[in-house]
Structure 1
């Protein structure tokens, strides 16, 4: 595998949280593990002992204790910690190791000035907003929806709703009306909290029309709360022209009847004598609903529970990312991506979280690195495409920002190739730990990632996460090592979904993960696991290239093509031959500004692919496009492109509202028309 780029310090067990956990296991459980591999094998074999140790080691606050750890090991249907009652928000707001006056939320953005919340201020805001929700009639099981960006109010709302046992759901405000209503019509929220707009770079984006359309499409709504984010003077409760009640009339609903009046955020968070209390809920009580990308059909509403998310995030944030009270934890994300939910669990392990809302490339790609320096960020999380874009731009972050506090970099969202690893160590810092991880919205965590105990190899994910029984399976279903296979999970994890919303019999849930291998979770990625436990993800298994018996993931293809200075972005699809032939391999490239695709550039691309991969992976055709279709969380849409090119109408192949750039589909539809002209 790749070169070793970082090795753990000799005293890693004395300095890391996982080292502390190993000492705890020895003292309290009589267990001693020589290395990470031994610890991982125990964690996926003795599930009861491992997950109970996480509960006990982190001293989970519970109102009633569990009667068992795991009552049924089968999947789906595994039942964790029966009898326990607890509350996610209570455990997060405990903020171990944080004094009341210590910063716990640091928020930056392009819409308003930076802000900081101390531990005491965060608890106070949650207390007020929880009381405000209670005044609106919100109780356990009600849904509270946020059409809001990565700002303190959204975080406060999540904690306030979950403190009541209500169920939270967020959509980033760049989501269009259809994308939002496709999600929220399924869960029927009672309360909507929405911003009036936001600033992306220097561009103001007004969302009031979208909010009105969303309200009209959600008859379940009883209350709307407006955050005057883009235009603070528009807050009816604080503007000089506001009436005594400080409220504005809402537009009539589509049906003509008056909808309830809109409250301002300051009204929702008005002062009150009500104490901050936490409703005890069952371990699997719904905490929030996340959604699949929804690129084909309605997004799947994935329900996550209080206890499963709490335990999983305690494990990952502390033991894998090594976060604690001395840390400032940043991940570039929007509220429409599960990494936001992962980030905001940071205070549960004592870490301060750094929030950012805006354009990460404004005024240039150095912006987030400068933010890291200014905030003293110790762990900087982002996406693989962002790191590769910085590399392609020739950025040297350590020369443009003070990154002396930085000791960890996280990468997810797509596979990070070896050259991305090398760039981080050459230009960001040579003594930090780079952790590439992969998981998903489905579990709101990573299955595979890094850990302080293991070295970093270029292009390789260091390990399978504790408690995650990850295997690679060959076409006949047998586990393989050192070979490409389907990523499967063969033992249950507490953060696997409680279920899908409105799927009482569990049929949609089973179809999503357990159809191919009954009783085994199939995730839909290709993975290679080497003999030391390191992992390489090579793309979605439904988008794999397979010509003449040579199977290769798309990630390797993109690494070669996008390594060329001339290519900004690309997407590749393999159109199989119904007769069993080699089929057609089509490559689409976005070129650097001012460049046009010509025969010389086509030949260069083909030469690079032939040399780096194989002659079978030289494309039959290369086309220039203006943009590659991507989801709102920046994932490439290989499968919808493939469907369009084989004659599926655009609107059937992809839900435009789930795309960041729906106009990008036009070029593929045009090409499909020339390839498959309709009579």
Structure 2
């Protein structure tokens, strides 16, 4: 046995038990298609070689309700032209509302704890009433229904009611500013707006009536406004919308490629892109990910901490299609007086799958939380993480302080595909710092500058074969052209996702950050995640952001840190740690102290905006940043004191 094999084994933090693999969806699926489960790489190759058969088998395995048709996949002139299930007819909401009458469909919780729960029977009834109310307002197939909604039962009912008719759902979170809301839903000309007038965050109540009224004034297409938790003049209250005798929803089946959702990119470099996703593509991608990769079973309880603007909200909602229960949470993840509030809720409802972000796990690490000392977590099977790379030390922390027998999966995908490219699986061991495998049906590679696949080297993450959840288009003028230019212009016929990544010889993955924020000192490409993974382990550092600045035909690395006091000694320690744990090339030339780090409203660091501000240019769309005031500290940063 060679040294590399020994080293790899020492990095294994968890391995599935034989009984768990035998009872996994992935094992059952492999048997259903007469394919061997191991080696997994062979099963994966089958899934991207027999594209139509694979996705047809996902439809059958997940018991999708609808007419599948005889044709499953039509190859196009290019990847973007491929068509899936051209003859299929189905309804999204019908597939999410098939659970048993008495089973809990959704738990609702906020900063006070669990506040409500609803069975599948009662959820169907509420959807029927909301559907009837929307039809009375003239909503029909293809109309856009927009929500400024919190992550609660009313928001879920609104989404399902709209999609049961064949309407298109699009939503923003109430914590967006008025401009951020209008920049998004204003593009798609909604007929109806459903809005929460209040929300709470970090134990503070917020009234957004003024923002909603401004939105109504600015978007001329809105014919009707339905308000939740409050009233406005000339609007309809949620309770009056549901005040009818309807008991069972009527589901309008529509085409596989008919639009379902419109999601928005962060929009920090301009107007957010309005990405149109299909009914069938979204549903098939999500049931595949939930069942085959996350191993979500009937009556499991699935959660992802998300607001209603992020793609993980519709991803969570689709958990209903696997007959699971979902936890809808509205509020801050960490409360000032209780950093483990979400785990109180998880323990109370028997949560099985906890979806979160590295930033949240880091906040618990820095608070020295040891969850296994406080909670039995007997129901918890899996922790899932996305939004940024999960660093190796966070893998260690999860197993040391939460639970040893746990399937931890870092996953990576995007709003653009409303799903994942690379994921974990219930039959793979968990290797610290690595994403376990390519998702089935996703033909992933890492390409170098020659466009050749590479292993053990960093390059661009790409997808080389079509999949059903590719966008239909970007909404608006020249939408098809803008869509193709974003993902296929760099490598015609190949989806270039924009992640800087490495594929190991075992076909696991390491994500180093976004390719457009990759550092390039001395012509060597460095992912920002490589620096964060070191800096975030330094006790004195509360947060950080790194970017590159032009310097004499080269680029120098700039690191900004949030800390109580940046001193020469601390700066020296930071550089030593980066030199030892990353490399001398990763060491920042300049280190600055700042009070805050810019984040999008979805909780992602905005390195591009930080760099734009630092070189003295204006950030075009500050409405996409949750704390734009902090950018002032970065303006012309070279003129300020550094270490």
- State the match for 1:90 in structure 2: 94
- State the match for 1:287 in structure 2: 260
Contact kept, 8 Å, 1:366 with 1:400, in 2: the verdict is no
Change (3 A) 1:643 1:505: closer
1:393-450: CA deviations, max 9, x gaps? 1111122223111011001110000100010001110001001101010111111110
| Alpha-carbon distance in 2 for matches of 1:299, 1:75 | 24
Normalising by structure 2, we get a TM-score of 0.96
* Among candidates 419, 430, 452, match of residue 404 of structure 2: 430
Contact kept, 8 Å, 1:13 with 1:20, in 2: the verdict is no
| Alpha-carbon distance in 2 for matches of 1:71, 1:616 | 45
* Among candidates 6, 9, 12, match of residue 4 of structure 1: 12
Contact kept, 8 Å, 1:200 with 1:359, in 2: the verdict is yes
- State the match for 1:160 in structure 2: 161
5+ long unaligned stretches in structure 2: 1-7
- State the match for 2:109 in structure 1: 108
- State the match for 2:395 in structure 1: 421
Look up the SS of the partner of 1:72 in the other structure: coil
Look up the SS of the partner of 1:419 in the other structure: helix
- State the match for 1:241 in structure 2: none
| Alpha-carbon distance in 2 for matches of 1:521, 1:212 | 40
Are 2:586 and 1:617 aligned? Answer: yes
- State the match for 1:585 in structure 2: 557
TM-superposed deviation, 1:614: 1.9
Contact kept, 8 Å, 1:111 with 1:199, in 2: the verdict is no
TM-superposed deviation, 1:72: 2.4
Contact kept, 8 Å, 1:647 with 1:672, in 2: the verdict is no
- Kindly tell me the number of residue pairs found equivalent between the two proteins: 632
1:267-298: CA deviations, max 9, x gaps? 11112247411111110100010000011110
Contact kept, 8 Å, 1:572 with 1:588, in 2: the verdict is yes
| Alpha-carbon distance in 2 for matches of 1:328, 1:674 | 50
* Among candidates 30, 37, 42, match of residue 41 of structure 2: 37
1:494-519: CA deviations, max 9, x gaps? 01111110245611001111111001
Are 2:363 and 1:355 aligned? Answer: no
Contact kept, 8 Å, 1:12 with 1:19, in 2: the verdict is no
- State the match for 1:62 in structure 2: 66
| Alpha-carbon distance in 2 for matches of 1:112, 1:66 | 48
Contact kept, 8 Å, 1:370 with 1:402, in 2: the verdict is no
TM-superposed deviation, 1:482: 1.2
1:211-262: CA deviations, max 9, x gaps? 111111111110000101xxxxx46xxxxxxxxxxxx6x2xxxxxxxxxx20
Contact kept, 8 Å, 2:114 with 2:345, in 1: the verdict is no
For the aligned residue pairs, the C-alpha RMSD in angstroms reads 1.6
| Alpha-carbon distance in 1 for matches of 2:316, 2:136 | 29
Are 2:284 and 1:311 aligned? Answer: yes
- State the match for 2:3 in structure 1: none
Change (3 A) 1:155 1:273: closer
- State the match for 2:480 in structure 1: 506
TM-superposed deviation, 1:189: 0.6
108-117 or 204-213, which moves further after superposition?
108-117
Look up the SS of the partner of 2:520 in the other structure: strand
| Alpha-carbon distance in 2 for matches of 1:191, 1:578 | 54
Are 2:231 and 1:227 aligned? Answer: no
Look up the SS of the partner of 1:221 in the other structure: coil
Are 2:240 and 1:267 aligned? Answer: yes
| Alpha-carbon distance in 2 for matches of 1:113, 1:55 | 34
| Alpha-carbon distance in 1 for matches of 2:633, 2:473 | 38
5+ long unaligned stretches in structure 1: 229-233, 236-247, 251-260
